[in-house]
Amino acid sequence: MVKFFGVRELLELLRILGVEEFLSNLIRYIRDDYLRWEQFEKIARVASHSPQGVIELMPICDDELYTFKYVNGHPVNTQSRRLTVTAFGVLADVRTGYPLLVSEMTISTALRTAATSALAASCLARGGSTVMALIGLGAQAEFQALAFKAGLGIRKLQVFDVDPAAVAKFNANMRGLGMEVVSAGSIAEAVHGADIVTTATAAKRNAVILTSDMIGPGVHINAIGGDCPGKTELDRDLLARGRIFVEYLPQSRVEGEIQQLSVHSGITELWEVLAGKRPGRLSAADVTIFDSVGFAIEDFSLLRYLDDLSKTMNLHREIDLVPLLEDPKDLFGLLRALPASQPQRAGRAG
């Protein structure tokens, strides 16, 4: 039997643990795995693009565990009341190839994306940052807000979205969660005075959400919306001005903000900063940019965390995804053991 976390099980976990505790623990799991970066077999995700969106597979493994995630990104889905992003993931044993755990990863992807954002900001943003601007209030927004509260102590949010319904949704969801939310009338108004700026827009196009003149010295930018070819959020002048950090350069230079650049020298992978191999912020005046597209190691961490929780909290289900055989060479024997079906007699027309 294979352990299974569906939407119901994950929501129960979050109810018991609390979203902020879950995020705080997940940040630690992701940090631990990034510090083991060189132990992983890594490839850029495999993407199948269409005019409507993208479907991707994201595999990674170390010597013991293998994971992959199936994930889509279809901004047009909201027009038919469907999610822009859906996903599921698998954790498997490298030694046998047997799946150990299958999980929903639609909610989980939002959680791990937010946890990664907070982890990066913890070593790139100025110390004592208290105010974050959040541009784009779609499905990721609340998770980002709570991760920055749990991981960095952010208490004030200055938010903007072109859709008033998204602003109303965000404000309603954040009520009572211990954060001050200020709705701005423009992007420039939202980012004014912010220590950290998170961009999380969904449109699949080369957009310019932030321009260099909007950003003062010392700001950390957490750019998570530009996550596939032809989809960007930051002005090239802002990229030229900032110190840029990515998850996995071979993937980011195709999908991230840095796809706009012809030269990728001087760009640092996040694991190098966490491991102390390369510097992050050099001065309080630096503009730092985390060009995040999402990488498979973060899904690995999430699935590993869920597997550990399954051993201490009996909330998962079990599914018979793999057959149990007395003789592993006799797969067909399962069919022979089926009860004989009764022949169906054809009726005669009266």
Tell me the residue range of the domain where 133 lies: 116-294
Q: Exactly one of 33, 161, 227, 235 is catalytic; which is it? A: 227
Task: Give domain status of residue 65, yes or no.
Answer: yes
**Per-residue tokens: 149:** 């509260």
Checking DSSP bridges between strand 65-73 and strand 54-61, what pairing results, if any?
antiparallel
Q: 60-96 pLDDT, tens per residue?
A: 999 999 999 999 988 889 889 999 889 999 999 999 9
Nearest one of 116, 118, 62 to 91, comparing CA atoms:
62
Asked, for residue 254, whether it belongs to a domain, the answer is: yes
Q: Same structural domain for residues 154 and 289?
A: yes
Active-site residue, 227 included: yes
Distance, in Å, from the CA atom of 181 to the CA atom of 39, rounded to the nearest integer, reads 41
Please list, in sequence order, all residues whose beta carbon lies within 8 angstroms of the beta carbon of residue 326, skipping any fewer than 6 positions away: none
Whole-prediction pTM value?
A: 0.93
pLDDT tops 70 at residue 188: yes
Total of domains in the chain: 2
Q: Give the model's pLDDT for residue 201.
A: 87
Scanning 223-265, the segments in alpha helix (DSSP H) are 236-241, 249-255
Establish if 215 belongs to a structural domain: yes
pLDDT in tens, 204-262: 667 888 999 999 999 999 999 877 677 789 999 999 999 999 999 999 999 889 998 88
In a domain, 8, yes or no: yes
